[in-house]
Amino acid sequence: DRLSLKTPKYRAPNLVVICDISGSMSAYARMMMHFMHALTWAHASGWGRVHGFTFGTQLHNISPQLTIKDPDAALAAIGQHVQDWEGGTRISESLGTFNRDWARRVLSAPAVVLLISDGLERSGLAALEGEIARLALQARELIWLHPLLRWDQFAPQAAGIKAMLPHVSSLVACHNLGSLQDLSDHLNGRRGVDHKARLMRLLA
């Protein structure tokens, strides 16, 4: 008898969003919270589960709050849950917490990670490079969303950006609704604007 072969069932990857809410990101934080909520509630989005995190001086899991359907109520709940809005930033420490406490839970299945940050870390740069490299190894794809790419002449001058850039899969703008549409195209496999190669040439 001929064996019947079954086509492997496609499993949509999960999406993990880690968003910087420090003072330097305050102009973008609310837009990015709406973006994360929309991803959570998008029908036929092509993703499995969506997990959301914020960090300033510490990491917070906001996935439960994102499941609140009304966006204003969801953002209010996030505001009550997260206490380090518009303060300092500890990127290395926050990514270390994610890698230690959350990666096994939310990256055990194939997942794409969106890291939303300006990368302005001034201390612990060796640790930062280690943590971003560790995160990249655990993700199917690590996409860095950077708001300062709104400037055509943006260059990777900050030490934190130099430490992180080589380890991400791609670098995409996230400063307005138009840039988020470009990101959507990128996530859906359509040709989008990826700034990594250009900025890596500036580091050479």
pTM, to two decimals: 0.89
- pLDDT tens-place string over residues 26-36: 888 888 999 89
Give the pairing type, strands 170-173 and 50-55.
Answer: unpaired
Identify the pLDDT of residue 191: 60
33-49: average pLDDT? 85
Report how far residue 186's alpha carbon sits from residue 184's, in angstroms, rounded to the nearest whole number: 5
> Which residue did the predictor score with more confidence, 6 or 127?
127
Given phi > 0 = left and psi -120 to 50 = alpha, else beta, which region is 44? Answer: left
- pLDDT tens-place string over residues 60-110: 999 999 999 999 999 999 999 998 998 888 999 999 999 999 999 999 899
Report how far residue 135's alpha carbon sits from residue 137's, in angstroms, rounded to the nearest whole number: 5
Phi/psi at 60 (5° precision):
-130, 135
The 3-state DSSP class for residue 123 equals coil
Q: Which helix (DSSP H) or strand (DSSP E) does residue 144 occupy?
A: strand 141-146
Identify the pLDDT of residue 1: 47
